[in-house]
Amino acid sequence: MSGTAVPRIPLLVDCDPGIDDALALLYLAGSPEADLRAVTCTGGNVEARQVAANAQAILALAGRPEVEVALGREGPIARPLVTTPETHGPQGIGDATLPEPRTPLSLRGGPELIVEEARRHPGALTLVTLAPLTNLAVAIALEPRLPWLLRRVVTMAGAFRGDGNTHPTTEWNATVDPEAFAEVLAAFAPERAPAGTPPPPRPVIVPLEVTESHHLVAADVEWIATLAGGGDDPVTRFIRDALAFYFRFHAEYDGFHGAYIHDALAVAAALDPGLISTTPLTVDVETAGRLTSGETVADRRGRWGRPPNADVAVRADTATFHDRLLARLATVAREQRGSAA
């Protein structure tokens, strides 16, 4: 080995674990280039306090109990919270079980943490959102300069060219809190920049049709176990038990025995932008449609006459991502088996 240090990318992650969120956090734990500074939580896949407990327990499982976990908004900014236990199980982690967290939650709220860290490290932090965009919308309300203070925003949300996974044309994160997503997109609009100020970096949206271009199957879980040294470790058992539930869900609702791992692809793209191809688009979110609330709309022909406010992923290098996902999950499993020995 050369001994050359891997350049590290400082990250904040906003999430709502959720099985695919859990695998995203494990992916980060197995990524030497990921400098995970903090995790913020909001209600989404399950209620917010269960989300926070899941995030703490998953980080502890991955050997990262020191990562600060903050509870953010417990529900959307303008409507009741809707959760999805049928997708992720009543606790959000499928058939898996995790011990109660041993470390306390942060004394900071989620949006406040995002703002404070961005002010402390202007232009340095990448924020990855894997949940409804409630915390980010509240953070921008607290600090309107936030789009300029963050180095990059990557969000798993929306559906543009395919079927939705919540309503016929809508994706889950966008549907749970469309008002928040709309406020975030408006904050990044170039025309909103003060006179003489360049626009902020456009957020990267990784939508459903891109995350659904990749999935795991049961053989992949067994390959993770093999790479990890046999599968008798706590991380591999968690992955196997969590995905067993997720596989059953997809078999019932999507017609295949496997699972889309939406959020892990988003964090992988945050670490390596070359994993996805993007196109700049002007994007907004429907908040009032009777059948389309939460639908993400891209103005591909310039009908609105506004410049792009997002870079939308249109494809992913799924083969490279697949290999990295299995390898990095196995790395975490192997390391934690070694530390427990």
Q: What is the pTM of this model?
A: 0.96
Q: What is the reported pLDDT for 338? A: 66
Active-site hit among 88, 167, 250, 262? 262
CATH number at residue 301: 3.90.245.10
- Within a domain: residue 3? no
- Within a domain: residue 4? no
Q: What is the reported pLDDT for 6? A: 80
- Asked whether 31 and 62 are in contact (CB, 8 A), the reply is no
- Within a domain: residue 296? yes
CA gap 90, 85 in Å, rounded: 5
- Within a domain: residue 2? no
pLDDT 10s digits, 152-205: 999 999 999 989 999 999 999 999 999 999 999 999 999 999 988 999 999 999
Q: What is the reported pLDDT for 339? A: 64
Tell me, yes or no, if 214 is annotated catalytic: no
- Within a domain: residue 127? yes
What DSSP assignment string belongs to 74-92?
A: SS-SSS-----HHHH-TTS
- CB within 8 Å of 301: residues ≥ 6 apart: none
Q: Of 260, 36, 240, 14, nearest to 137 (Cα)? A: 14
Q: What is the reported pLDDT for 232? A: 85
Residue 16 in this model has a pLDDT that exceeds 80: yes
- Within a domain: residue 1? no
pLDDT 10s digits, 109-136: 999 999 999 999 999 999 999 999 999 9
Range of the domain at 274: 9-335
User: How many domains, in total, are found in the chain?
Assistant: 1
pLDDT 10s digits, 255-292: 999 999 999 999 999 999 999 999 999 999 999 999 99
- Within a domain: residue 18? yes
Residue 11 in this model has a pLDDT that exceeds 70: yes
For the chain, what percentages of helix, strand and coil (3-state, to nearest 5) are there? Answer: 40, 15, 45
DSSP annotation of 100? P
